Structure 1
Amino acid sequence: MSARSFTTPGGVHNATPARIVFGAGRSTDLRAEVTRLGARRALVVTTPGRAPLGDRLAELIGDRCAGMLPEAVSQVPVELARRGREKAASAGADCLVAVGGGAATGLCKGIAYETRLPIIAVPTTYSGSEMTGFCGMTIDGVKRMHESTAMLPATVVYDPRLSQSLPVTIGAASAMNALAHCIDAIYLPSLSPLLAPAAIEGAQVVAAALPALLADPDALDARTELLYGAHLAGAALTGGFAIQHAVAHTLGGSFGVEHGLAHTVVLPYVTDYLVRRAPRPLGRIAAAIGTDELPGHLWDLAVSAGLPVRLADLGLSRDDIERAVRIALTAEDHADPRLAGNPAPVTEEAVRTIMTEATSGARPGGAS
């Protein structure tokens, strides 16, 4: 047997937040977490739809709250990030509190990218963004990845009760997003061996909890498990990401597709393309989930949740496919050694194959 040998990238890769607070009701500790950071002027950042929740948490922070910015939107337009920096400066903020899903966390990251303000993330969805120092910002209609330890949240507060108001369909799409993190990370050589088990357990937990959520949308246990699985999936994502994210980010940044739905539609077809090229790592995910047909199982999960499995269901026509292929190939530098861990090269043929399968929407494996 040959001696083991591996190298993992430094910097933001495989770096996770220094403090995690997890449990039902733990958001009531938010003021204490602001104080723990030594902050006195916390700016609460959320989406317009989550403004009432933002108000509630701002009240918990009390006189250490500098105000609220309820303007976050998906895909983080760079213009919005700039406005957010101006808002933070005018409010004298020395801390950012992200309340909601990936949009709120992403906007905080966009603000912190240049200001280096510390972030406390309070996620209510399963995007996993709160675990990483990566952020996709949309510039001139193309979502481009940025990375910096300045964007890595200092603290994450997970309170499953805050996710109970999340509509089931949105929660299901977000859960598929978490599964995409596990699957897209597990085969990368840049993933730390310490975090590879997070991808496996994260996939197992999310795949089991999603049907439980569908069966009982009010079940706190299912919401708790999904949040825990998303936490693990986000940790795994810190190792890097590959073709799944290249395609999904294209749909989000350039075609306005909601992030979770973008991942949902292409995940079975990306997995089908790669499962024969990376049978061992993806086999570990399949075994954890309890299936010998991983692509088809993912398709079944999406369909059982009433989620789309065809690009046409997201508003894309066949004429959009060629543009999507071009953007997916050029938005990221796939020759970069940190991104070159795909089991197969990210070629025009590969991306077009995935897009073509997603256009048909047929179940991978031939059964439906």
Structure 2
Amino acid sequence: MTHDFVHNNLPSRVVFAVGARTRLPEEIDRLGLHRLIVVCTPAQADLAADLTSPLGGKIAELHPHATMHVPVAVAAKAIARSREIDADGCIAIGGGSAIGLAKAIARDTGLPIVALPTTYAGSEMTTVWGLTDAARKTTGRDQRVLPVTVIYDPQLTVTLPPALSITSGMNALAHSAESLYAPDRSPITSLIAAESVRALADALPRLVTDPHDMGARADALYGAWLAGSALGATTMSLHHKLCHILGGTFDLPHAETHTAVLPHVLAVNLPAAPQARTALESALRAADPADHLFHLANNLGAEMSLKALGMPEDGLRTVIDQALAAPYANPTPVREAELDHLLGNAFVGAPPT
């Protein structure tokens, strides 16, 4: 290995334990916060109210309006409410939708975020934000959106159904896979990413067998934390670009789209990224990582067809055009032929080639 790299550690505090949610009041006290806006999706309003009830009068407002891909209008309302109630902090409870909305608030107001993830999205460990407007998703990086504290409690993921657990876990695994061939990877991020892949791939089948297996839930959440850390420290490539286009343009479900696309992108990229391929072969104990991940997800019940997820066939041209119009780092050149081939396979749910 040639030791020539730059590595940045992102400044966030992680509290990880079964039952860690009960430590929320002491973490809020530690930060000196007194007027909090709590963001979540409508479906998790009761959970958010229950988790934050020990904070009493420190909760200025429960704002259960987070939605997928963070539409600009939804973000604007949340930002306005945080100003109107004079919030001094934001608690995000949920997956990527809730944490994404909290990031929109923080990016505009500078409010510190405390995150309690209930999925394996990994967004809570990154400076990446995303907003969707007029069927286009825009993303960027800003230190202000990185949560100052993340409380990981495996018990908060138990209500995540097995099907969503699989796709959420595959979404996290995609972060690690792409970080292994990122242009700004370091030995540390590569170690983190490989361990993440190992933990997630081992945990997901156990979750399907027993959704209440707390050891499996803890292992999956551990893997997701590492995946988010790898995502936060590196530049993502073709896979994430395509998923942002698919989600923002066609409103496809986030984790399910990552699951369907990842094996096909790896089939294109890994021949040009031998170190990443070797790391994935070892972590997955498989000779063909792309094929292995396809069949792992498929055998666990994940939908592998973009068409079945709601993608219109006449939209493939739009995805290709958008991907070609915005250059980005990738281990191999991104050309129309490769995009047409991998998206065609992903559209019908065929194995990667």
Distance of aligned partners of 1:127 and 1:66 in 2 relative to their CA distance in 1, 3 Å threshold: same
Which residue in the other structure is 1:5 paired with?
Answer: 4
C-alpha contact 1:120 1:156 (8 A) present in aligned 2: yes
Q: 1:113 aligns with which of 98, 107, 110?
A: 107
C-alpha distance in 1 between matches for 2:53 and 2:144? 27
Determine helix, strand or coil for the equivalent of 2:240. Answer: helix
C-alpha distance in 2 between matches for 1:62 and 1:282? 50
The reply on whether 1:259 has 2:240 as its aligned counterpart is no
Q: 1:30 aligns with which of 6, 24, 28?
A: 24
Q: Once superposed, which parts of structure 1, at least 4 consecutive aligned residues long, lie more than 4 Å away?
A: none
Shift of 1:17: 4.2
The reply on whether 1:125 has 2:119 as its aligned counterpart is yes
C-alpha contact 2:5 2:186 (8 A) present in aligned 1: no
Q: 1:284 aligns with which of 267, 279, 286?
A: 279
Which residue in the other structure is 2:173 paired with?
Answer: 179
**Cα deviation digits, residues 162-220 of structure 1 (max 9, x gap):** 11111111111100101111111111121233222110000000000000001111111
Q: 1:92 aligns with which of 78, 82, 86?
A: 86
Shift of 1:260: 0.3
Q: Which amino acid aligns with 1:187?
A: Y
Determine helix, strand or coil for the equivalent of 2:144. Answer: helix
Shift of 1:7: 4.1
Q: 1:72 aligns with which of 66, 69, 87?
A: 66
Q: Root-mean-square deviation (CA), in Å?
A: 1.5
C-alpha contact 1:181 1:233 (8 A) present in aligned 2: yes
C-alpha contact 2:12 2:146 (8 A) present in aligned 1: no
Q: 1:353 aligns with which of 341, 348, 351?
A: 341
C-alpha distance in 2 between matches for 1:39 and 1:320? 46
Shift of 1:15: 4.5
Matches within 5 A, 1:184-203: 184-203=178-197
C-alpha distance in 1 between matches for 2:194 and 2:352? 22
Which residue in the other structure is 1:101 paired with?
Answer: 95
Gaps of 5+ in 1: 9-13
Which residue in the other structure is 1:11 paired with?
Answer: none
The reply on whether 1:324 has 2:312 as its aligned counterpart is no
Which residue in the other structure is 1:204 paired with?
Answer: 198
Scaled by the length of structure 1, the TM-score of the pair is 0.92
**Cα deviation digits, residues 88-115 of structure 1 (max 9, x gap):** 1111110000000010000000111111
Gaps of 5+ in 2: none
C-alpha distance in 2 between matches for 1:289 and 1:302? 13
C-alpha contact 1:99 1:124 (8 A) present in aligned 2: yes
Which residue in the other structure is 2:153 paired with?
Answer: 159
Determine helix, strand or coil for the equivalent of 1:276. Answer: helix
Shift of 1:355: 0.6
Q: Which moved more, 1:56-65 or 1:84-93?
A: 56-65
Shift of 1:314: 1.1
Identity over aligned pairs, percent: 39
Shift of 1:221: 1.0
**Cα deviation digits, residues 269-313 of structure 1 (max 9, x gap):** 001111211122122122111111111111111112211111211
The reply on whether 1:54 has 2:48 as its aligned counterpart is yes
Shift of 1:358: 1.0
C-alpha distance in 2 between matches for 1:212 and 1:91? 44
C-alpha distance in 2 between matches for 1:206 and 1:296? 16
Q: 1:135 aligns with which of 129, 134, 143?
A: 129
Shift of 1:359: 2.2
Distance of aligned partners of 1:218 and 1:4 in 2 relative to their CA distance in 1, 3 Å threshold: closer
Determine helix, strand or coil for the equivalent of 1:343. Answer: coil
C-alpha distance in 2 between matches for 1:181 and 1:99? 21
C-alpha contact 2:252 2:311 (8 A) present in aligned 1: no
Q: Which amino acid aligns with 2:335?
A: T
Which residue in the other structure is 2:332 paired with?
Answer: 344
C-alpha contact 1:178 1:233 (8 A) present in aligned 2: yes
Q: Which moved more, 1:293-302 or 1:279-288?
A: 279-288
**Cα deviation digits, residues 12-41 of structure 1 (max 9, x gap):** xx4434210001111111111111111111
Determine helix, strand or coil for the equivalent of 1:138. Answer: strand
